[in-house]
Amino acid sequence: MTPVDELSASMEDYLEAIYHIVTAKQAARAKDIAKRLDVNNSSVTGALRTLSEKGFINYAPYDVITLTPKGHKHAEDVVRRHEALMDFFTKVLCVDRTEASEAACKMEHAVSRNILDRLIRFVEFIEICPRGGETLIQGFNNHCRQEGNFITCQDSLARCLEDLKQRQKDIEGDLLETAPLNDLRQDQRGKILKIKGKGGISKKLAELEVTPGSIVEVIQTDTETGALDIKVRGYRLSLSTEEAAKILVERSGN
């Protein structure tokens, strides 16, 4: 049975809420969940009992709530689906974040792992392919707004060839803007070129199928420790500055 089949959409919403609260506070309480989902306490109690019986959470009345390993893994999968859909809606379709979030919440429960992986790869492809990138995305956005001034195929091909020629010159002249991941600032993105080492973070990323070519985005940085919260292939990860230094990236111009 797949993770999508094990829980109803409603139960996955509760599990996702618990995941976010536990991430922020280390543990969750029923009132936190009720507030986040805007539901009454009796509904929360019933959901917590169901999740506990299925082995997704550690729960006892009046005690704090934590995720079991099974629950944490499933919650990460739900969050990943949500993030992947959000990226597609906002970065490719140029949909407003509020509308995108509402749609992602409804669709995340039905997306299969195969479709999810292809969606993530498509977002990466459309962002880094010389025939795509910001120009294509903005052109599509203009088309949706019916603003006209569309780029002709001939002009688009000409620009693509110019970009390819410039990129080839950069490669030959070693002018690509490369840096360790810990050099990127908040909201900056880059394409992974190399992951140094065989254990530790290298092994963790390999398990998540994060490889050279994957697009990584810095969500936030800790100014005191240098630690990074990143998003890659729909996963949100926390890296120490030492771990981030082992990941070489090509900075994105975005």
CATH number of the domain where residue 44 is located: 1.10.10.10
pLDDT of amino acid 1: 40
Could you tell me if residue 210 is inside a domain? Answer: yes
Residues 111 and 145 in one domain: no
Could you tell me if residue 54 is inside a domain? Answer: yes
Residues 62 and 100 in one domain: yes
Residues 183 and 100 in one domain: no
DSSP state of 130: T
Residues 141 and 51 in one domain: no
Residues 143 and 193 in one domain: no
pLDDT of amino acid 46: 94
Could you tell me if residue 42 is inside a domain? Answer: yes
pLDDT of amino acid 133: 66
As beta bridge partners, residue 178 has 250
Tokens of 170: 């950069």
Place of tokens 């092994």: 203
Q: Give dist(CA 193, CA 254) in Å, integer.
A: 17
pLDDT of amino acid 2: 45
Q: Is 227 helix (H, G, I), strand (E, B) or coil?
A: coil
How crowded is the C-beta side of 67, counted as CA atoms within 13 Å?
21
List, for the chain, all residue ranges whose pLDDT scores fall below the cut of 50: 1-5, 173, 175
Residues 168 and 186 in one domain: no
Range of the domain at 153: 133-172
Q: Name the domain count of the chain.
A: 3
pLDDT of amino acid 143: 72
Could you tell me if residue 126 is inside a domain? Answer: no
Residues 157 and 202 in one domain: no
Residues 3 and 44 in one domain: yes
CATH number of the domain where residue 231 is located: 2.30.30.90
Could you tell me if residue 127 is inside a domain? Answer: no
Assign residue 79 a region (left: φ > 0; alpha: ψ between -120 and 50; beta: otherwise). Answer: alpha
Give CA separation, 43 vs 48, 106, 208, 229, 248, in Å: 9, 19, 34, 33, 47
Could you tell me if residue 138 is inside a domain? Answer: yes
Residues 202 and 245 in one domain: yes
Widest distance between CA atoms in the chain: 67
Residues 19 and 98 in one domain: yes
Could you tell me if residue 227 is inside a domain? Answer: yes
Q: Give dist(CA 236, CA 86) in Å, integer.
A: 13
Q: Which residues of 190-199 are buried (b: 16+ CB within 10 A; e: fewer)?
A: bbbeebeeee
Residues 14 and 71 in one domain: yes
Residues in contact with 116: Cβ distance below 8 Å, sequence separation at least 6, in sequence order: 80, 81, 84, 234
Residues 43 and 107 in one domain: yes
